[in-house]
């Protein structure tokens, strides 16, 4: 991609092109992934009787309808980000608290399904390209364009899993906490609703602090790797057809 002279200039000037390419890949993938997550919230809310998200144009694959600038920046730098919350009116649900829990769960589930689809495409195309069950050796057989496509697909899988795990953290305002709220006393639920802004600020402060602690990062990425491995195991039957 770059000549030897260009690499020397970039190295001497302190430009880390690998890091820059990682940021660009994360940004592109994030803009592909976020609409899936946020639209899933709106779709399930619509199924349950609340059409607020549809009326406000939030059920769309257009990433610019969902992107939060700060969330995008943190995704590019830290690999973890967020989007603008989808508006939901639980008063329109027949069972308000259960409906809100299902809407909250829809986002992470959609990310896991998208990641599983990505795993299926990666393993199947890898087997087709290598003409063997050794799909993970595809980089040595693929063209430069193919390698770039596989790198993007790999990022797609990783970011989907990361968002699913991150959003299932059982702390406000994350989806995991909103799901658990359906099983807490109504008084606690009302207290959380009244203090959401403060609790959100505390949560993001904890995220910034936690990102500085090695054992927290290790634990988080271990969970991501375990979930990703489980998804790959779910499509491990594909290479059996290429032996």
Provide the token pair at 217: 């990062």
Which of 92, 113, 129, 103 shows the shortest CA–CA distance to 36? 113
Which of 97, 88, 95 shows the shortest CA–CA distance to 39? 88
Q: Which residues, in sequence order, are bridge partners of residue 83?
A: 67
Cis link prior to 84 (omega < 30° from 0)? no
What pLDDT does residue 37 have?
93
For the entire predicted model, the pTM comes to 0.84
For the chain, how many residues are written? Answer: 243
Q: In whole angstroms, give the CA distance from residue 135 to residue 123.
A: 6
Q: Read off φ and ψ for residue 82, nearest 5 degrees.
A: -150, 170
Q: In whole angstroms, give the CA distance from residue 47 to residue 92.
A: 11
**86: enclosing H helix or E strand:** none
Question: Does the active-site annotation cover 38?
Answer: yes
Give the list of residues 6+ apart from residue 79 with CB closer than 8 angstroms, or none: 26, 159, 162
What pLDDT does residue 144 have?
78
Q: Read off φ and ψ for residue 171, nearest 5 degrees.
A: -130, 145
In Å, how far from its chain's centre is CA 210?
19
In Å, how far from its chain's centre is CA 81?
8
Q: In whole angstroms, give the CA distance from residue 7 to residue 113.
A: 39
Q: Which listed residue (6, 38, 56, 139) is catalytic?
A: 38
Residue-level pLDDT, tens digit, the chain, 243 residues: 444 444 444 444 455 666 787 788 888 888 888 999 999 999 999 999 999 999 999 999 999 999 888 888 887 777 777 888 899 998 999 988 899 999 999 999 999 999 999 999 999 999 998 888 988 888 777 777 778 888 889 989 998 999 999 899 888 888 999 899 888 888 887 888 788 778 878 877 777 777 777 887 888 889 999 999 999 999 999 999 988
What pLDDT does residue 6 have?
43
Q: In whole angstroms, give the CA distance from residue 243 to residue 75.
A: 39
Which of 19, 33, 41 shows the shortest CA–CA distance to 107? 41
What pLDDT does residue 50 have?
95
Q: Which residues, in sequence order, are bridge partners of residue 67?
A: 83
95: left (phi over 0), alpha (psi -120 to 50) or beta: beta
Provide the token pair at 107: 């986002």
Q: In whole angstroms, give the CA distance from residue 199 to residue 76.
A: 25
């Amino acid at each position: 991609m770059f000549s030897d002279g260009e690499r020397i200039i970039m190295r001497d000037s302190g430009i880390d092109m690998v890091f820059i390419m990682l940021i660009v890949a994360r940004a592109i993938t994030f803009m592909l992934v976020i609409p899936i997550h946020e639209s899933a919230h709106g779709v399930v809310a619509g199924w349950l009787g609340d059409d607020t998200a549809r009326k406000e144009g939030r059920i769309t694959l257009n990433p610019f309808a969902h992107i939060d600038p700060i969330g995008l920046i943190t995704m590019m730098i830290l690999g973890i980000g967020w989007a603008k919350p989808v508006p939901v009116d639980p008063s329109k649900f027949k069972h308000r608290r259960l409906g809100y829990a299902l809407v909250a769960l829809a986002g992470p589930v959609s990310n896991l399904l998208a990641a599983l689809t990505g795993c299926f495409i990666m393993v199947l195309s890898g087997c087709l390209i290598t003409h063997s069950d050794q799909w993970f050796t595809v980089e040595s057989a693929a063209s430069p364009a193919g390698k770039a496509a596989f790198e993007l697909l790999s990022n797609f899988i990783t970011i989907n899993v990361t968002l699913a795990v991150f959003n299932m953290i059982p702390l406000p305002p994350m989806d995991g906490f909103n799901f658990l709220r359906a099983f807490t006393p109504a008084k606690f639920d009302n207290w959380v609703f009244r203090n959401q802004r403060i609790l959100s600020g505390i949560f993001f402060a904890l995220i910034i602090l936690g990102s500085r602690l090695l054992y927290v990062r290790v634990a988080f990425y271990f969970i991501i790797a375990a979930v990703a491995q489980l998804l790959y195991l779910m499509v491990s039957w594909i290479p059996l057809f290429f032996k």
